[in-house]
Amino acid sequence: MTAVTAVTALRARVGALATASFLAFSTTILPTTGSTPPAYGADSLPPAASGPSASAPNAPWPAATADSGSGPSAAGVIDQIDDLATAKTLRRSGVVVVDPGTDAVLYDERAERALIPASSLKILTAAAALEALGPRTRLATTSTAAGDVVYLIGGGDATLARKDERDSQADGPATIRRLARETATALGTTTRVDVVFDDSLFTGRQLGPGWPKGFPAAGVAAPVSALMMDQGRKSANSRARVPDPARKAARAFAGYLEKQGVQVRSVERGSAPSSARELAKVESATVTEIVQQMLTGSDNDVAESLGHLVGSAVVGEGSFAGGARGMTEVLSSAGIDISGMQLVDASGLSGRNRIAPITIAEVLSDVVREERWSAISGGLAVAGVSGTLADRFATKATSAGRGVVRAKTGTLTGVGALAGTVMDTEGRPLVFVVLANRVRSQAQARDTMDRLASNLAECGCR
């Protein structure tokens, strides 16, 4: 490995810790009027259907402090994982292990090398969304009216569903059917309308830079839109996505209006006037819950929606480019060293993204210390138990990591990643990040990464 100098802190912070979010924490976001990429991997494919709210978060680790168990030494960690961190199965890689209680870098194998991160990028997306949008923010999908025109306005909620058995509940999940019912009630005696759907909160291209055109049909990600239901799926149980998620959502909305006795003459795309009166709105789960859902299941649609929302909030542009600039600005302002970082999307699907392992480690260290972004801990998949790690850590060599490793996976063709936290035998949480590029065997690379994390779980390393 490269020399692990006697570093006692992470790279010098480029700024003081942020003391406030870009927006108020308790708000509703209302909608306003290179080269050939690697293909996606197994953890890039979302489940066939996704509910409108996030699942329950994991119980958090105890916050790391300098007194959190006996501190491991760099020499001990090197002895425990060096053979795995430098294994040929990881090819072009970067590996770092940090003790967040003391900020000591315990292992550094090209930790500042900017690499393709795949879905481990979602850790940065989560941090930026929590910081810029606020953890208690909810995303609103709204209907307004001007004369006999009803406007359906998307607010960037990628968790909006067509319908749910709890639609009749006042505090039920956000669904198109519920919004249509409440809209019909608010219309009163107006029984003939035109529907105009407004998805203008997001702008620009709908597929990320470097994404193959076949991603929607393959079910990897929908065309990014500020208005979608069931994440743009052709049907609730389908993986394949439609080319125009907003139009599909609007047609479903019109259909439900008609079931309520409101005749819909036309359905067209347009912009809602600011003078239109609000009829109804449905709100998502909180940004905290959405972030956790995104991380556990590696949800690409939710990630891109959050990235676009960060761009809209921070730089006034809800697009791929705006999201990349907004996320970069948020992380830099929060004191994260972003040297070498290049972002083009928020999900990690593009092979044009570049992040150094140490940058991800800095974010995770703040998570474990509970300085901010602690909600991320509740969304990381648990080894052998949940999310994209549910079917991993199943061998004798990785059994020590089951239940005590929490991490975000990443997979593209030739790319593997595992970034998260692990509790060592002394009860001390450690942060680790492994990014590997030019991988020839995903199975071997995953096994190496899982064994590395499991070895850290067996580490007293003093």
Is residue 340 within 8 Å of residue 228, measured between CB atoms?
Answer: no
Direct distance between the N- and C-terminal alpha carbons of the chain, in angstroms, rounded to an integer: 19
Return the closest-CA partner of residue 343 out of 68, 122, 67. Answer: 122
The rounded Cα 138 to chain-centroid distance in angstroms is 16
Per DSSP bridges, beta strands 92-99 and 104-109 are antiparallel
Is residue 161 within 8 Å of residue 51, measured between CB atoms?
Answer: yes
Tokens of 324: 């990349």
Q: What are the start-end ranges of the E strands in 181-326?
A: 192-198, 263-269, 277-286
Q: How many CB atoms lie within 10 A of CB 412?
A: 26
Q: How many CB atoms lie within 10 A of CB 103?
A: 18
What is the dihedral angle through the alpha carbons of 182, 187, 191, 196, rounded to the nearest 10 degrees? -80
Rounded Cα–Cα distance for residues 87 and 397 (Å): 16
Tokens of 439: 């991988």
Provide the angle, in degrees to the nearest 10, between the axes of the packed helices 300-315 and 122-133: 40
Return the closest-CA partner of residue 212 out of 337, 86, 37, 360. Answer: 37
Q: Of the listed 21, 53, 93, 122, which one is catalytic?
A: 122
- 10 Å CB burial of residue 210 (0-12, 13-18, 19+) is middle
| 122 catalytic per annotation | yes
Helix (H, G, I), strand (E, B) or coil at 143: strand
| 119 catalytic per annotation | yes
361: Cβ–Cβ under 8 A, 6 or more apart, which residues? 10, 96, 98, 111, 419, 431, 432, 433
Q: Of the listed 44, 53, 93, 119, which one is catalytic?
A: 119
Residue where the block lists tokens 């993204």: 353
173: Cβ–Cβ under 8 A, 6 or more apart, which residues? 51, 52, 53, 161, 164, 166, 167, 282, 285
Local structure of residue 312 (DSSP, 8 states): H
Q: How large is the C-alpha radius of gyration of the chain?
A: 23
Rounded Cα–Cα distance for residues 4 and 377 (Å): 27
Q: Of the listed 200, 225, 298, 374, which one is catalytic?
A: 298
Q: What are phi and psi of 420, to 5 degrees?
A: 180, -145
Return the closest-CA partner of residue 452 out of 143, 97, 115. Answer: 97
Q: Catalytic residue numbers?
A: 119, 122, 298
